[in-house]
Structure 1
Amino acid sequence: MEQQEPQQQESTIDSNLDSNQQRISGIWDNIMAFLHELLDIRQDSDRDETIEAVRKDISFQGHNAWILIFSIFVASIGLHANSTPVVIGAMLISPLMGPIVGMGLGTAINDAIMLRRSWINLIVMVGLSLLTACLYFLIAPINGITDELKARTFPTILDVLIAIFGGLALIVAKAKKGTISNAIAGVAIATALMPPLCTAGFGIATGSLKVFGGAMYLFCINAVFIALATFLVCKLLKFPMVKYANQAKRKRVSRIASLIGFLVLLPSVWLFYQLYQEEVKKAAGAKFIENYVEFDGMRPSYDWNEKDPNMLDIWMVGEPVPVDVLKEWEKKFTLQKGLEESTVRFYQGSSLPTENNEGVEVVQEELIDKLRLIQNKDVRIAALENELRKANEQEKDFNRLSEEVRLNYPQISSMSYAESINKDFITQQVDTIAIYNIIFNDTTLTVPNRVEIKTRIGKWLSYRLQTEKLKVNEIKRSFTIPVESTKKETQIPSKTVE
């Protein structure tokens, strides 16, 4: 009996463990089934319809060509006017992504015809866009590069990430049964294919190779990663491959498509890595400035050197920093993660070299602009205070004058004052006259008496204020008749018949 009890306990424990394992396994299976149902897009994808829709969007002729031209004009105007909403509107109406998606899909399904049409239409699209943007900027008066244009002259790692996830969202939206137009419109805004082309046209119109190269570089990044995202999703959804009757031709097309995919993928990976390293370096430099470059009475300004991208130049304005402090900063700079291959240079006071005067001038210009802004505010405040002081003085003067009029002329019940601006149309002269309006208290005064009092008041005011530019007017007293009394007076008595 004693041996059976431990065996029963062990069997009970084993059965409990098996039961718990089954429950855990059931929970895990339910979670996986839920996630599969939530994230699976293969069941609701219409592959044949997607291929046909992409094939229709590739061509750039007729309506699409004119829509592209007009949207390029709108985007160029928005960039020139520094208006973000106008640029967003242009991206909404632009049909730019058709050939780019066609390149990715054609490579994925081994369709040589689609791939060739996509390349040709992409070249036509880029050429037409550059020509239209260049034409606009040649005609429009250009005062200089705006902030919206400048923002499209250099790519960052964020642009790559936007292009990747934007391309994924685009092809997933196109693959769904019943295309999601809102998602496609949102991708058109997010990936921002049009502004770089307009900026490149600005670079051609102004003869700036740097602006043109940076803008085209940004456009190529967006186009490559959208096509790459399309390729990956089409492979994941197992889009049907194009079949060829000739086996040799199928292999040849497959090799060409694979080669193009490899040529697109290889520089994309290298580009992504380079931009990522650049962002890491910039973030590390900014963190170094924030954490270590600090001294009482000194204001730092920094930028990465254009000639040597691994050189961080720091300009210091204000109190001079001791040499031992600068050496300590240099040692800490070399120990920063992400700055191992970079160097730092500190400039202050007379140690500023000639080639870096531009950075110092930028800091000085910023300080001068702030001082001017403060001075302009002080001038406006002083002008407003002066106007307020004048208004207070005029109010005090009028109070004294009105009190004297009340004591000297008991026939007057009230007096008002206002300045009147008059223009003579013959001489075109503008003059300001002080108008004093008076109301007589005694309504029994004759007209000659009223004229005499007005004349005497006018002469007295001219002597009192030492000016001839004034006028005294009489205002008739207005009487307000109560509504009830009016009704009583207007009532018609009924006639009585005798």
Structure 2
Amino acid sequence: MENTSPNTPVKSLWLSIKLLLKSTLDIREDTNHDTTIEEVKAGISIKGQGAWVLIFSILIASAGLNTSSTAVVIGAMLISPLMGPIVGIGLSLGINDVDLMRKAIKNFGIMVVLALFTSFLFFSIPIFQKETPELIARTYPDVRDVIIAFAGGFALIVALSRKNKQVNTIAGVAIATALMPPLCTAGFGLATRKWEFFGGAMFLFTINTIFIALATFIIVKSLKFPMQEYLNSSKSKRISRILYLVAFLILTPSIYMFYGLYKKTDFEQKVNTIITTFSLDKDVVILNQKVNFQNKTVSFATVGKSVTNQDVEEWSEKLKKQGYSGVKFEITQSVENLETQNMLEKLESTYYTTQQILNKKEELLVKQEKEIIDLQKQLYLSEKSKIPFDQIANEIKINYNEVAEVAYSRLLKTNFTKIDTVPIIYIKWNNNLNQNQILSQEQKIQKWLRLKLQNEKLTIQKLN
């Protein structure tokens, strides 16, 4: 009877996915155990050409670090033979080969001493003793360096174990794990007697070495490389115990290093978040910030508003809730900075006060200018309304014999919106003129005087 269970398509899909993942991720079929072991053994020795290649690559890397040239440092890492003895240590642990381990450790020691000595000589020259960003970057390892070394070690041994070698993978691992720059930086520390450089760089180099060897050991065990056989069974057991002890001694500090670096990175990140948030919110400039995870201290200087005790208590409480209690904050707020801040605040206050006074003065000036303009208009109108009475009277007498008397006055009138001044000329005529003649003569005189005096408001009235 045909199986029509609804689970059949699901099982088929799951089986297809498993087969796809196995064909994609399985590396056992493409592994060449014997060839890999021989190639690793051949790459361990640091004698002859290998020693000179190491010396020259160290010189190149030192020059690159001194000039902060990343390209030069990368070039030096590509030609360096540093990786060989480290992979040899991991392989010897994995296949239980004590002779290979001795050889690998011996060559590893020679390699380290030769690299330190070469970089020491280079940085002993005074013109090469400047601290550069590339050198400083090799003195503060964090948890990311562990991940890089571990992943690099896995990638390296997997690439070496393939039947068809991938040269670009091996070169990429040499660049990523960066074994040479820490050794060169340690040589710089020795030459300049800056022990913080030497200690930090050697710690980074130790991390890279241990985790590359550990990754090699894990892959060798996973791929079931053939174990080294010894005729004497008791000797074989003794060697196995020794190698497992060495593996344990490598694994234990590796876990401790990883945890310590993880906590250090986490602590620094949380402190940076708190300080950055404070700087942005309060508009404060933070200078010379230093975070010491070991002593649980945070030190920095401020420019701008001062940090209060309440701020520090809030930071300590936040860090305590995040698992970091007893953190001490050492904040530099010099008297000069406080005086400068007070002076700035006073200047700001004075500026705003002065600005208000100037604004009031400006308003007063505008008002006064308006009053002046109004007065000028009034003066103009007043001047315009003035009439040279003597001259006008004489001219009227000469041109109009019938005029007996002339008078002049100014009439003020208003429509309750504005006030106007109207000039009025009063004329008394001889009795021999009739009313029509008088009206005609008055119109002529009015036109003449309006044109002469440029005043259309002027009027002529009869004087009784």
If the length of structure 2 is used for normalisation, what is the TM-score?
0.69
The residue that corresponds to 2:333 in the other structure is 348
Partner deviation per Cα, 1:78-107 (whole Å, 9 max, x = no partner):
111221100000000001010000000001
Q: Which blocks of at least 5 consecutive residues in structure 2 are unaligned?
A: 338-464
- Is 1:46 paired with 2:46? no
With 211-220 and 257-266 compared, the bigger mean Cα shift is at: 211-220
Partner deviation per Cα, 1:13-68 (whole Å, 9 max, x = no partner):
xx75x2x2011001001000100000000000001100000000001111111111
- Is 1:32 paired with 2:18? yes
Question: In the alignment, is the contact (CA less than 8 A) between 2:129 and 2:192 conserved in 1?
Answer: no
Partner deviation per Cα, 1:333-356 (whole Å, 9 max, x = no partner):
433x2434534344434399xxxx
- Is 1:271 paired with 2:249? no
Cα 1:273/1:55, change in 2 over 3 Å: same
Cα 1:22/1:339, change in 2 over 3 Å: same
Q: Distance in 1 between matches of 2:314 and 2:234?
A: 68
With 137-146 and 297-306 compared, the bigger mean Cα shift is at: 297-306
| Alignment-mate amino acid for residue 162 of structure 2 | K
* 1:282-301 aligned within 5 A: 282-292=268-278, 294-301=280-287
Q: CA deviation at 1:122?
A: 0.3
| 3-state SS of 2:46 partner | coil
| 3-state SS of 1:133 partner | helix
* 1:181-260 aligned within 5 A: 181-260=167-246
Q: Distance in 1 between matches of 2:140 and 2:283?
A: 34
Q: CA deviation at 1:257?
A: 0.6
With 302-311 and 248-257 compared, the bigger mean Cα shift is at: 302-311
Q: Distance in 2 between matches of 1:287 and 1:351?
A: 28
Question: In the alignment, is the contact (CA less than 8 A) between 1:302 and 1:312 conserved in 2?
Answer: no
Question: In the alignment, is the contact (CA less than 8 A) between 2:92 and 2:98 conserved in 1?
Answer: yes
Q: Distance in 1 between matches of 2:222 and 2:270?
A: 37
* 1:320-331 aligned within 5 A: 320-321=306-307, 323-331=309-317
Out of 89, 92, 98, the position equivalent to 2:75 is 89
| 3-state SS of 1:45 partner | coil
Q: Distance in 2 between matches of 1:323 and 1:249?
A: 67
Cα 1:139/1:350, change in 2 over 3 Å: closer
Q: CA deviation at 1:332?
A: 3.9
Q: Distance in 1 between matches of 2:228 and 2:91?
A: 11
Cα 1:65/1:324, change in 2 over 3 Å: closer
Q: Distance in 1 between matches of 2:294 and 2:228?
A: 49
Out of 153, 174, 181, the position equivalent to 2:160 is 174
Q: CA deviation at 1:247?
A: 0.5
| 3-state SS of 2:123 partner | helix
Q: Distance in 2 between matches of 1:166 and 1:113?
A: 25
Q: CA deviation at 1:314?
A: 4.1
Aligned-residue Cα RMSD (Å) equals 2.3
The residue that corresponds to 2:324 in the other structure is 339
Q: Distance in 2 between matches of 1:49 and 1:206?
A: 45
| Alignment-mate amino acid for residue 112 of structure 1 | V
Question: In the alignment, is the contact (CA less than 8 A) between 2:285 and 2:304 conserved in 1?
Answer: yes
Cα 1:29/1:129, change in 2 over 3 Å: same
Question: In the alignment, is the contact (CA less than 8 A) between 1:164 and 1:225 conserved in 2?
Answer: yes
| 3-state SS of 2:141 partner | coil
Question: In the alignment, is the contact (CA less than 8 A) between 2:154 and 2:212 conserved in 1?
Answer: yes
Q: Distance in 2 between matches of 1:327 and 1:52?
A: 62
Q: CA deviation at 1:205?
A: 1.2
Q: Distance in 2 between matches of 1:81 and 1:244?
A: 52
* 1:449-464 aligned within 5 A: none
The residue that corresponds to 2:87 in the other structure is 101
With 198-207 and 35-44 compared, the bigger mean Cα shift is at: 198-207
Question: In the alignment, is the contact (CA less than 8 A) between 1:295 and 1:321 conserved in 2?
Answer: no
The residue that corresponds to 2:116 in the other structure is 130
| 3-state SS of 1:211 partner | helix
Question: In the alignment, is the contact (CA less than 8 A) between 2:141 and 2:200 conserved in 1?
Answer: yes
Question: In the alignment, is the contact (CA less than 8 A) between 2:129 and 2:188 conserved in 1?
Answer: no
Q: Distance in 2 between matches of 1:25 and 1:181?
A: 40
Cα 1:350/1:327, change in 2 over 3 Å: farther
Cα 1:159/1:248, change in 2 over 3 Å: same
Question: In the alignment, is the contact (CA less than 8 A) between 1:74 and 1:87 conserved in 2?
Answer: yes
The residue that corresponds to 2:295 in the other structure is 309
Question: In the alignment, is the contact (CA less than 8 A) between 2:316 and 2:326 conserved in 1?
Answer: no
Q: Which blocks of at least 5 consecutive residues in structure 1 are unaligned?
A: 1-10, 353-498
Question: In the alignment, is the contact (CA less than 8 A) between 1:320 and 1:348 conserved in 2?
Answer: yes
Q: CA deviation at 1:327?
A: 4.2
Cα 1:245/1:82, change in 2 over 3 Å: same
Q: Distance in 2 between matches of 1:345 and 1:259?
A: 44
| 3-state SS of 1:178 partner | coil
| 3-state SS of 1:243 partner | coil
| Alignment-mate amino acid for residue 324 of structure 2 | L
| Alignment-mate amino acid for residue 344 of structure 1 | F
With 230-239 and 63-72 compared, the bigger mean Cα shift is at: 63-72
Question: In the alignment, is the contact (CA less than 8 A) between 2:268 and 2:291 conserved in 1?
Answer: no
Question: In the alignment, is the contact (CA less than 8 A) between 2:40 and 2:88 conserved in 1?
Answer: yes
| Alignment-mate amino acid for residue 42 of structure 1 | R
Question: In the alignment, is the contact (CA less than 8 A) between 1:173 and 1:179 conserved in 2?
Answer: yes
Cα 1:162/1:326, change in 2 over 3 Å: closer
Out of 53, 65, 81, the position equivalent to 1:79 is 65
* 1:411-450 aligned within 5 A: none
| 3-state SS of 1:289 partner | helix
Question: In the alignment, is the contact (CA less than 8 A) between 1:320 and 1:349 conserved in 2?
Answer: no
Cα 1:24/1:214, change in 2 over 3 Å: same
| 3-state SS of 1:141 partner | helix
| 3-state SS of 2:302 partner | strand
Question: In the alignment, is the contact (CA less than 8 A) between 1:304 and 1:310 conserved in 2?
Answer: no
- Is 1:68 paired with 2:67? no
With 115-124 and 316-325 compared, the bigger mean Cα shift is at: 316-325
The residue that corresponds to 1:356 in the other structure is none
Question: In the alignment, is the contact (CA less than 8 A) between 2:290 and 2:298 conserved in 1?
Answer: yes
Report the identity percentage: 45
Q: Which has the larger radius of gyration?
A: 2
Q: Distance in 2 between matches of 1:308 and 1:39?
A: 41
Aligned residues: 337
| 3-state SS of 2:203 partner | helix
Q: Distance in 2 between matches of 1:305 and 1:168?
A: 33
Partner deviation per Cα, 1:270-316 (whole Å, 9 max, x = no partner):
00000000011011111222334555442234634559631122432
Q: Distance in 2 between matches of 1:328 and 1:123?
A: 50
Cα 1:323/1:238, change in 2 over 3 Å: closer
